[in-house]
């Protein structure tokens, strides 16, 4: 997995990211003065990069729609998880059938992609990527094992880096990390935790621990300026992507896909809430689930900081 998402592999997708980010910014410009659903725009931009990285072009819109459908399904509490032996519950609520349907759709698309890659390899093509390089599927099929690249992501603008880190602290991608298994018996706050106990780490609570953070409920990006705290598992009070060998391998891919659009949005546009909405009235409620998502999409009105000749 490290090979699939190594620094070298991430850099090979630069042209794809730049093109999709350019399309994203252009779509924002076309909505100047109008209310824009930023949540949907960002969702389609990030997933378009992912799809093109594995050469899902022809069926991209269908795959992204399926991904959205699956994310909605896994966020919903399912009573069948509490009573797995009651098969009748599956038929009543229909959740399982919807998962199976989505699974079959994804399988059909992935099978076509794999067959295409295998056929191209048979004809001697070294890379199936859009620009002649290997894509993620090529590396996966070859099952290569190389030296692990260092997990580093340089973000040149310190303020943008601080904003991203503070956002990850207040809204971790996965509030609950796990399950994990204890390798040793230990005692925490007087409670004995036996060997091989399965546990879930509450990353959301760690990010709001008064012993680790000053005024943890407030959005203060400056706390990360001139700070050595990072997000790659070296500081257990801040683990938005987990830590250790089980850490999320998509850190480089995700952050490289986020930083540039955010920088361009902040540089080129002025943002306002629609219909005279006050910032204090903005609904920041999040949906319960395995990932952090706003309950209501973010709607904003955009105006340019610069004129058309400067773009």
What is the Cα 145 distance to its own chain's centre? 25
| Residue 115 falls in which region: left (phi positive, over 0), alpha (psi -120 to 50) or beta | alpha
Beta-bridge partner residues of 177: 201
Is the separation of the CB atoms in 181 and 197 below 8 Å?
Answer: yes
Structure tokens at 205: 């609570």
Residues composing the chain: 311
| Alpha helices by DSSP H, 76-94 | 87-93
Residue 63's Cβ-count burial label (10 Å; 0-12, 13-18, 19+) is buried
d(Cα 35, Cα 159) in Å, to the nearest integer?
Answer: 27
User: What are the binding residues?
Assistant: 248
Structure tokens at 224: 């990360």
Phi, psi (degrees; rounded to nearest 5) at 2: -60, -40
d(Cα 127, Cα 283) in Å, to the nearest integer?
Answer: 46
DSSP state at residue 147:
P
Return the beta strands (E) in the chain as ranges.
Answer: 35-37, 176-181, 186-188, 191-193, 198-202, 269-272, 286-287, 293-294, 299-304
User: What are the binding residues for heme?
Assistant: 248
Containing 117, the helix (H) or strand (E) segment is helix 95-122
Is the separation of the CB atoms in 197 and 182 below 8 Å?
Answer: yes
């Amino acid at each position: 997995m490290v090979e699939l998402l190594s620094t070298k592999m991430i850099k090979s997708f630069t042209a794809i990211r730049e093109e999709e980010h350019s399309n994203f910014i252009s779509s924002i410009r076309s909505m100047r003065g109008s209310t824009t659903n930023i949540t949907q725009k960002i969702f389609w931009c990030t997933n378009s990069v992912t799809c093109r990285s594995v050469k899902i072009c022809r069926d991209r819109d269908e795959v992204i729609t399926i991904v959205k459908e699956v994310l909605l399904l896994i966020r919903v509490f399912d009573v069948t998880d509490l009573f797995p032996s009651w098969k009748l519950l599956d038929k009543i609520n229909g959740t399982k059938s919807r998962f199976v349907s989505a699974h079959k759709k994804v399988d059909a698309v992935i099978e076509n992609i794999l067959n295409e890659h295998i056929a191209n390899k048979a004809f001697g093509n070294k890379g199936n990527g859009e620009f002649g390089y290997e894509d993620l599927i090529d590396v996966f099929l070859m099952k290569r094992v190389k030296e692990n690249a260092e997990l580093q992501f340089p973000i040149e603008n310190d303020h943008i880096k601080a904003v991203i880190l503070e956002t990850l602290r207040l809204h971790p991608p996965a509030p609950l990390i796990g399950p994990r298994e204890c390798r040793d018996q230990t005692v925490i706050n007087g409670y004995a935790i036996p060997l091989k106990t399965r546990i879930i780490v509450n990353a959301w609570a760690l990010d709001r621990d008064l012993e680790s953070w000053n005024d943890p409920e407030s959005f203060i990006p400056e706390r990360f300026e001139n700070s050595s705290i990072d997000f790659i598992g070296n500081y257990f009070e801040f683990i938005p992507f987990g830590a250790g060998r089980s850490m999320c391998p998509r850190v480089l891919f995700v952050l490289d896909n986020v930083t540039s659009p955010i920088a361009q949005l902040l540089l080129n546009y002025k943002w306002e809430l629609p219909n005279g909405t006050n910032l204090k009235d903005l609904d920041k409620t999040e949906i319960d689930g395995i990932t952090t998502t706003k309950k209501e999409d973010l709607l904003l009105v955009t105006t340019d900081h610069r004129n058309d000749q400067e773009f």
